[in-house]
């Protein structure tokens, strides 16, 4: 019975996610779970660990380091221990570990766990890159292509595990708080992947039109794309319109204003929640994590709708999409090519597959750049049906880039074309000819405007 009572003395809600070890020890000391002697032992062991890590930092030189650096190494040590202690069943188990296991051993366990988490985060980052939204928004692209990428080059698991040096500007709909270092990056990537996963249900051109409806200069704004797309999709769901078209007219806005008129914030939240469930059913969203993320976003959207509806500004929340200015080029990044050795291994794996579905799964799970898709269409020796399935993975923007490279402005099947080029042209022209006329026209229009960067 006493053990049960002891476990209740630690209030886990008061523990810091960023400074878990420090807050755990402090609360345990206040509650009498750690006495003066044990606290002194923890402090002395922490100082010895700092001395060992500082000597390692100095590459064996026992000379002193700057106070600021020593403090940073100490925080890094605590952070590393926290990573392991958080993996235990509860705070009670974490306190028991701290009081019964040498600090140096806890650090080693945390350090091994950091390596595992870092490997996992790198893999998850590759998934985020494959599911990127094709958008001209600078902060979105820079955060993924530069900020997070540079984190993996600069992250110091030994002496600065708690730090995030690169700039990560893109704001998530659900911000990451009370975390640091690798844990922050893991949570950020997790939330970003959910946002990308939702946006992947819509064509990039439709998303672009919605964002232009919010602001024609949105490419330079610090704005969350997912939340704006979700708001638009909810508006379509409330009006029983085609959700994937993401189109709200002036007349639709008036209907929504009438729907929300005179309703309380709670009533609007109920309407929006019902629309969210309908949206998930229509789009076939069964991923539990994505469903929860969408529901977590609804409070913010409901509040914005409530405030906007009461002031006649609903079109700033659920916007009227705008067609892009055809005089301005659309910027498109094809992504980073896979290194040659990895690419050759992937092609060998595809060539050994017997079934088309297996080939498609390999391509979906491993290829993120348009250049690699372009090469695989030929190098993997796909037949026409298989090539069409690969092309189905692409949106209008990607198809426009390929069509601009290989179809428009050149003679298909010309005598001076290489066999490789002729095959790409054959696949592209065959696939595009099977699309609705409206989409074919849009792809051709986009092809004339897209500027690759």
pLDDT digits (tens, 9 = 90+) for 312-350: 889 999 999 998 765 556 666 666 778 888 888 988 998
In contact, 427 and 377? CB cutoff 8 Å: yes
Q: Predicted confidence band at 4 (pLDDT cuts at 50, 70, 90)?
A: very low
* pLDDT mean over 21-40: 94
**Is the pLDDT assigned to residue 177 strictly greater than 60?**
yes
In contact, 390 and 381? CB cutoff 8 Å: no
Question: How many CB atoms are closer than 10 A to CB 389?
Answer: 17
Q: How far is CA 251 from CA 207, 257, 309, 320, 422, in A?
A: 20, 10, 15, 10, 48
* pLDDT mean over 168-188: 95
Question: How many CB atoms are closer than 10 A to CB 197?
Answer: 18
Measured CA to CA, the distance from residue 349 to residue 358 in angstroms comes to 10
Q: What is the pLDDT of residues 376-402, one digit of tens each?
A: 888 888 888 888 888 888 877 788 888
| pLDDT for position 174 | 95
| pLDDT for position 166 | 75
Measured CA to CA, the distance from residue 224 to residue 139 in angstroms comes to 10
Within 8 A by CB and 6+ apart from 202, the residues are 229, 233, 244, 246
* pLDDT mean over 134-155: 92
Measured CA to CA, the distance from residue 56 to residue 104 in angstroms comes to 14
- Measured over the CA atoms of residue 230, residue 236, residue 240 and residue 245, the dihedral's sign is negative
Measured CA to CA, the distance from residue 199 to residue 131 in angstroms comes to 9
What whole-number percentage of the chain has pLDDT above 90?
A: 59
Q: Predicted confidence band at 100 (pLDDT cuts at 50, 70, 90)?
A: very high
Helices 370-379 and 384-391 pack at an angle, to 10 degrees, of 170
Measured CA to CA, the distance from residue 435 to residue 354 in angstroms comes to 28
- What does pLDDT average to over the chain? 88
**Is the pLDDT assigned to residue 409 strictly greater than 70?**
no
| pLDDT for position 3 | 47
| pLDDT for position 62 | 55
Please choose, from the candidates 377, 395, 397, the residue with its C-alpha nearest in 3D space to the C-alpha of residue 385.
377
Residue 279 phi/psi, 5-degree rounding, is -60, -45
| pLDDT for position 1 | 41
* pLDDT mean over 78-87: 97
How many Å is the Cα radius of gyration of the chain? 27
- What's this model's pTM, rounded to 2 decimal places? 0.74
Mean pLDDT is lowest, of 140-144, 153-157, 170-174, 338-342, for: 338-342
Give the CB-side neighbour count of residue 54, counting CA atoms within 13 A: 20
Q: Predicted confidence band at 184 (pLDDT cuts at 50, 70, 90)?
A: very high
Q: What is the pLDDT of residues 266-303, one digit of tens each?
A: 999 999 999 999 999 999 999 999 999 999 999 999 99
Q: Predicted confidence band at 6 (pLDDT cuts at 50, 70, 90)?
A: very low
| pLDDT for position 2 | 45
In contact, 442 and 396? CB cutoff 8 Å: yes
**Is the pLDDT assigned to residue 117 strictly greater than 80?**
yes
SS3 labels along the chain: CHHHHHHCCCCHHHCCCCCHHHHHHHHHHHCCCCCHHHHHHHHHHHHHHHHHHHHHHCCCCCCCCCHHHHHHHHHHHHHHHHHHHCCCCCHHHHHHHHHHCCHHHHHHHHHHHHHHHHHHHHHHHHHHHHCCCCCCCHHHHHHHHHHHHHHHHHCCCCCCCCCCCCCCCCCCCCCCCCCCHHHHHHHHHHHHHHHHHHHCCCCHHHHHHHHHHHCCCHHHCCCCHHHHHHHHHHHHHHCCCCHHHCCCCHHHHHHHHHHHCCCCHHHHHHHHHHHHHHHHHHHCCCCHHHHHHHHHHHHHHHHHHHHHHCCCCHHHCCCCCCCCCCCCCEEECCCCCCCHHHHHHHHHHHHCCCCHHHHHHHHHHHCCCHHHHHHHHHHCCCCHHHHHHHHCCCCHHHHHHHHHHHCCCCCCCCCCCCHHHHHHHHHHHHHHHCCCHHHHHHHHHHHCCEEEC
* pLDDT mean over 114-139: 92
Mean pLDDT is lowest, of 2-11, 240-249, 435-444, for: 2-11
Measured CA to CA, the distance from residue 442 to residue 448 in angstroms comes to 10
Q: What is the pLDDT of residues 235-266, one digit of tens each?
A: 999 999 999 999 999 999 999 999 999 999 99
| pLDDT for position 232 | 97
Measured CA to CA, the distance from residue 163 to residue 155 in angstroms comes to 8
Which residue has 């595992």 as its token pair? Answer: 116
């Amino acid at each position: 019975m006493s053990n049960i009572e002891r476990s209740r003395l630690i209030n886990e809600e008061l523990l810091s996610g960023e400074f878990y070890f420090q807050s755990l020890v402090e609360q345990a000391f206040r509650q009498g779970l750690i006495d003066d002697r044990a606290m002194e032992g923890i402090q002395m062991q922490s100082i010895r660990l700092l001395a060992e890590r500082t000597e390692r930092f100095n590459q064996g030189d026992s000379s002193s380091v700057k106070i600021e650096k020593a403090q940073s190494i100490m925080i890094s040590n605590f952070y590393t221990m926290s990573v392991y202690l958080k993996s235990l069943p509860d705070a009670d188990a974490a306190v028991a570990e701290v009081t019964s296991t040498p600090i140096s051993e806890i650090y080693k366990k945390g350090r091994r766990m950091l390596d595992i988490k870092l490997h996992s985060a790198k893999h998850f980052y590759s998934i985020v890159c494959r599911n990127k939204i094709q958008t001209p928004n600078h902060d979105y692209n820079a955060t993924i292509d530069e900020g997070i990428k540079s984190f993996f080059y600069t992250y110091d698991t030994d002496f600065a595990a708690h730090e995030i040096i690169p700039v990560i500007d893109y704001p998530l709909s659900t911000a990451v708080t009370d975390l640091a270092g690798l844990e922050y990056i893991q949570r950020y990537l997790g939330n970003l992947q959910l946002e990308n996963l939702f946006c992947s249900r819509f064509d990039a051109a439709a998303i672009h039109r919605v964002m232009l409806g919010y602001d024609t200069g949105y490419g330079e704004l610090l704005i969350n794309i997912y939340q704006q797309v979700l708001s638009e999709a909810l508006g379509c769901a409330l009006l029983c319109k085609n959700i994937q078209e993401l189109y709200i007219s002036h007349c639709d806005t008036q209907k929504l204003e009438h729907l929300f008129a005179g309703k309380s914030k709670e009533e609007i939240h109920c309407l929006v929640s019902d629309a969210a469930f309908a949206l998930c059913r229509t789009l076939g969203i069964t991923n539990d994590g994505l469903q929860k993320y969408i529901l977590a976003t609804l409070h913010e959207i409901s509040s914005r709708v409530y405030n906007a509806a009461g002031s006649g500004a609903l079109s700033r929340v659920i916007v009227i999409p705008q067609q892009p200015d055809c005089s301005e080029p659309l910027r498109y990044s094809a992504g980073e090519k896979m290194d040659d050795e990895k690419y050759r291994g992937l092609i060998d794996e595809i060539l050994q597959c017997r079934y088309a579905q297996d080939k498609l799964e390999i391509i979906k799970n491993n290829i993120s750049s348009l250049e690699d898709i372009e090469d695989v269409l030929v190098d993997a020796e796909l037949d026409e049906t298989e090539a069409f399935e690969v092309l189905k993975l692409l949106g209008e923007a990607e198809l426009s880039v390929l069509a601009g490279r290989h179809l428009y402005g050149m003679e298909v099947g010309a005598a001076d074309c290489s066999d490789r080029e002729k095959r790409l042209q054959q696949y592209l022209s065959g696939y595009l000819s099977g699309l609705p006329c409206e989409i074919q026209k849009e792809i051709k229009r986009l092809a004339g405007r897209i500027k690759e960067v």
